[in-house]
Structure 1
Amino acid sequence: MKNPPGVLARLFGRAKPAPVVSSLATAVLNRPLLADRATAEAMVNAYLTGDVTSLDTQLTTDRVSATPAPEAETAGQIGVINISGGLVNRPMPGASGAGPVSYTAIRDAFDELIEDDGISAVVFRLETPGGMASGLFDMSDRIFAARGRKPIHALVDDYAYSAGYGLAAACDEIWVSRTGGVGSVGVCAFHYDWSGNDAQIGLKVTPIYAGEQKIDFNPHFPMSEQAQARAQEDVDRTYALFVKSIAQYREMDEESVRATQAGVFYGERAVAAGMATRLGTWDDLIAHLGAPGVDAPAQAGDEGDDAGDAELAASSLARPAQAGEISDTAAHAAALAAGTLTEITADEKANGDANAAPAEPATPAAAADATAAEAEAARHAAAGQIATAVRAAGLAPDLTVALMDYVQTPEAVAVEVERAQGIADLCRATHTRSLAVDLIKSGATIEQARAQLDGATASVGDELVTAQPTQSTAVVAAALKQQQGLDPNHVYANRSKNRGSKK
């Protein structure tokens, strides 16, 4: 059995087949990336080792004919841009093929559909962990500027993270399935330090350079503190731009975007947090646009995987949704609960269907399915009510997200908001505001939070506490101790005390 080619051979095109051209490493290492951290790291490693090739990424454009209908948002052809895999700024063709999907190619496909008078709507169908920061904001701003010319929708099928979410956020609406994920509004960067490996194989690299910063990110040397600080500045600057863009696209305040802490939101939580517009699958969206019954274009990995889509589509409403109407069963239940939609009564239905043939009696299995669907719809409706009530309470963005995660029923919102506000006031008074989120999520009462904060403050003070702290108190104490360790005044006081004790 032959040994696989080394990383350098793969990078410089000597392996057959080469997984990607050498410019990929230049593009993604030591530079800010808008990608889900774990997925991005795995993606970079997979390209460099050949586990992922250009065959695993895809950009295709399809045109779906829509049937004119009064309830449809559009009539004519629907342009679908299918995006799968990682994202880079410019095309990187090479021995491995076309390379990852580029913003340049996305721009060309989008411009063609926007300028085509025969296209009445554009759909971005996304399955991407994100990618490079470079080029993303030019592309997303281009999508945002095109709003109003024709409907532009993002269909998250099945995830759109970071840069992928940046593309989705710029669209008029974001449709996400019940299991679809969006978010990860954050920035990461990777520096590969090979110096330890060099030493093991007996390789010594001697740098010959001019300019203090010339070899800051060379993989053969550990990164200096100054270089890391400069890299962090680049990441922070990109993050600020990312947050500002998402806030503008989705009409959110920047603090709410930052409060997500680059987290990922699924299904109804994404809608409740304002990260998506509505729940729906391909079938729901395409029916909304006037093309019911049209199968989704094939994507990489779609073969033999229709069961999930069928299961998700089973709960959608039978008729196409009208413009501005939510077409998902759960959202339908939420509209009923909110009083914005009135259910047809049995008498009204009987009068309207007097000439209709009697319906077949439901089978036990069908009745069970209907009961399960109703329970699921009720759960989604409750989640929407909880999110609306919590947001209306006016808590800080991070406390709002924490409370959404904890509250289980709409009836409990008022009590839990009061608890969260009390805990936040306690933490603010004891200069431990950063601990409020964890205390709220843990379900601690105001009295328990006060006891934990008192015990933790005592355990990190100058006096010796002999009582065994509870586990939660110990966690708070550790956090407080770390926080005090970063306080210059506290450090100076300890140094002065230690000097005095040595005299």
Structure 2
Amino acid sequence: MEKTSQNKFSQRHPLIFGFMLIIAAVVIFMMAMAVFNFLFLEDRSRFRTGEKIGVVNISGLITDSREIVDWINELKRNESVKGVVLRINSPGGVVGPSQEVYAAVQDLARTRTVVASMGAMAASGGYYVASPAHQIVANPGTLTASIGVKATLTNMQELMRKIGIQDQAIYSGEFKDAGTVMRPMTDREKEYFQALIDDMHDQFVQDVAQGRNMALEEVIALADGRAMTGRQAYQTGLVDVLGGMNEALELLRELTGIKESAGLLEGPVQKVSLVRRILGEFSLTPDFAGPRWIFTYE
């Protein structure tokens, strides 16, 4: 009997044929997982009609604002979203991205009622992004406040000397080398960095005062870097209500009149590539591309 063209191809190109089978199996598996996720795991409330509550999850160190800001903007464009809860579990973040999230929340609060719900921690940059919300809810034991700016600068001159490494770089100006690990800072460099820190701290204080509608002097008195429990922050006026996520949702419903049957739209949804979903994240490349020092709200 004459062999089919398929058999001929599989015999003539076994590696290619095997690879095609693997790809087909992976595609079928991913489609099955997508269907399973939609039926059993996905929050399908986004497909329902009627009023909805948006939830913005802000977790971990705030180093990149893009996904958070994009999600906030998506909720703003969605007319079915009548109110938004910011669920914050963050120890702080880099100044620039924290300011971008703050601005997005501030803009959202002009057209939607926004309630911030603090989890285990919403300190420094975590508190900063919550401050434009109409109401802030924190657990009594939440760690929050910590209004201040920090820059960590390390002097490794003695270590470099012991292992025979010397800095021979050429710089264009006096302060281009400021903060190097190869030598101690000069007095002028300390003044230079202190001026940067003071200006960022002033921006922090002014934004919190504006977001919370507090007198600038009140915030200045609390902005010495101290962390507070949720209960302490409530007593100083940095927090409005003591409670958890359920209390935040209930408060939002009271402020907006949204029914309990309203669905939740939670995000931002983490975007993971197909290869990373299958194999997981694996990297042998260290990241030394960043600056020697980073200013953070922490």
| TM-score band, normalised by shorter chain | 0.5 to 0.7
1:279 paired residue among 226, 242, 252: 242
Q: Does 1:76 align with 2:76?
A: no
Q: The residue matched to 1:134 in structure 2 has which SS? A: helix
Q: Does 1:252 align with 2:214?
A: yes
2:68 & 2:235 partners in 1: Cα distance? 29
In structure 2, stretches of 5+ residues that fail to align are 1-41, 254-258, 268-298
Using a 3 Å threshold, how does the CA distance of structure 1 residues 118 and 151 change in structure 2: closer, same or farther?
same
Residue of structure 1 equivalent to 2:86: 124
1:171 & 1:225 partners in 2: Cα distance? 41
Q: Does 1:107 align with 2:69?
A: yes
Q: The residue matched to 1:159 in structure 2 has which SS? A: strand
1:264 & 1:148 partners in 2: Cα distance? 29
Shift of 1:294: 9.3
1:86 paired residue among 61, 84, 87: 61
Matches for 1:119-198 after TM superposition, within 5 Å: 119-198=81-160
Shift of 1:275: 0.5
Matches for 1:42-61 after TM superposition, within 5 Å: none
Using a 3 Å threshold, how does the CA distance of structure 1 residues 131 and 201 change in structure 2: closer, same or farther?
same
* C-alpha contact (below 8 Å) 1:85/1:128 kept by paired residues: yes
Shift of 1:286: 2.3
Shift of 1:293: 12
Residue of structure 2 equivalent to 1:231: 193
1:213 partner amino acid: F
Asked which structure has the greater RCO (Cα within 8 Å, sep 6+), the reply is 2
Using a 3 Å threshold, how does the CA distance of structure 1 residues 265 and 200 change in structure 2: closer, same or farther?
same
Q: The residue matched to 1:87 in structure 2 has which SS? A: coil
Shift of 1:196: 1.6
**Deviations, residues 302-335 of structure 1 (Å, cap 9, x unaligned):** xxxxxxxxxxxxxxxxxxxxxxxxxxxxxxxxxx
1:76 & 1:161 partners in 2: Cα distance? 32
Shift of 1:216: 1.6
**Deviations, residues 75-133 of structure 1 (Å, cap 9, x unaligned):** 72211111211012xxxxxxxxxxxxx11221101000111112121111111011111
1:201 paired residue among 155, 163, 167: 163
1:240 & 1:285 partners in 2: Cα distance? 30
**Aligned residues with identical type, % of pairs:** 25
* C-alpha contact (below 8 Å) 1:86/1:130 kept by paired residues: yes
Residue of structure 2 equivalent to 1:267: 230
- Runs of 4+ with >4 A deviation: 61-65, 292-295
Which 10-residue stretch deviates more, 252-261 or 105-114?
252-261
Shift of 1:252: 1.1
2:131 & 2:195 partners in 1: Cα distance? 25
| CA-based RMSD | 2.9
1:64 & 1:195 partners in 2: Cα distance? 58
Q: The residue matched to 1:157 in structure 2 has which SS? A: strand
**Deviations, residues 188-209 of structure 1 (Å, cap 9, x unaligned):** 1111222121012122222333
In structure 1, stretches of 5+ residues that fail to align are 1-60, 68-74, 89-101, 299-503
* C-alpha contact (below 8 Å) 1:63/1:79 kept by paired residues: no
Shift of 1:161: 0.9
2:105 & 2:57 partners in 1: Cα distance? 15
* C-alpha contact (below 8 Å) 1:62/1:81 kept by paired residues: no
1:125 partner amino acid: R
1:258 & 1:285 partners in 2: Cα distance? 27
1:282 & 1:164 partners in 2: Cα distance? 16
* C-alpha contact (below 8 Å) 2:73/2:104 kept by paired residues: no
1:173 partner amino acid: Q
When normalised by structure 1's length, the TM-score is 0.40
Shift of 1:146: 2.6
1:293 & 1:111 partners in 2: Cα distance? 20
Residue of structure 1 equivalent to 2:275: none
1:147 partner amino acid: A
* C-alpha contact (below 8 Å) 2:91/2:123 kept by paired residues: yes
Q: The residue matched to 1:175 in structure 2 has which SS? A: strand
Using a 3 Å threshold, how does the CA distance of structure 1 residues 248 and 198 change in structure 2: closer, same or farther?
same
Q: The residue matched to 2:150 in structure 1 has which SS? A: coil
* C-alpha contact (below 8 Å) 1:152/1:172 kept by paired residues: yes
Higher strand proportion, which one?
2
1:113 & 1:183 partners in 2: Cα distance? 27
Q: The residue matched to 1:265 in structure 2 has which SS? A: strand
1:128 & 1:201 partners in 2: Cα distance? 38
The count of residues paired between Structure 1 and Structure 2 equals 219
1:147 & 1:63 partners in 2: Cα distance? 25
1:144 & 1:223 partners in 2: Cα distance? 38
Q: The residue matched to 1:205 in structure 2 has which SS? A: coil
Using a 3 Å threshold, how does the CA distance of structure 1 residues 131 and 150 change in structure 2: closer, same or farther?
same
1:286 partner amino acid: L
Using a 3 Å threshold, how does the CA distance of structure 1 residues 284 and 87 change in structure 2: closer, same or farther?
same
